[in-house]
Amino acid sequence: MNKTTKKTISVRLRRIEGQVRGIARMVDEDRYCVDVLTQISAVCAALHRIEQEILRDHISCCVAGAFKHGNVREQQEKISELVTVLSKITK
């Protein structure tokens, strides 16, 4: 993962961590269900954005590198990895 992406992801994950702690407090305080669900939705959306950014970084660095170097075995491995991960994240 490139340094800029890694830094951005780390900052976002710390923010999400705070949001999750906030949701736990909301549950402990018996807050209105719709408010809790709204916060959960926000966390899910933030995680999805991180997922997309990491995937973009992986394709532009790791996958592109495999194709740039011309190693057919490595290319096939990267394609297989992408198919597997995309099938998991698009469910």
Say which CATH number the domain at 30 has.
1.20.58.1000
On the question of pLDDT at 91 being above 80, the answer is no
Please tell me the predicted confidence (pLDDT) of residue 69.
Answer: 87
Cβ atoms within 10 Å of 78's Cβ, excluding its own: 19
DSSP 3-70: HHHHHHHHHHHHHHHHHHHHHHHHHHTT--HHHHHHHHHHHHHHHHHHHHHHHHHHIIIIIHHHHHHT
Q: To the nearest whole percent, how much of the chain has pLDDT over 70?
A: 100
Mean of all residue pLDDT scores within the chain = 94
For the chain, the domain total comes to: 1
**What does the pLDDT look like over 31-72, one tens digit per residue?**
999 999 999 999 999 999 999 999 999 999 989 988 898 889
pTM, rounded to two decimals: 0.84
The domain of 23 spans 3-89
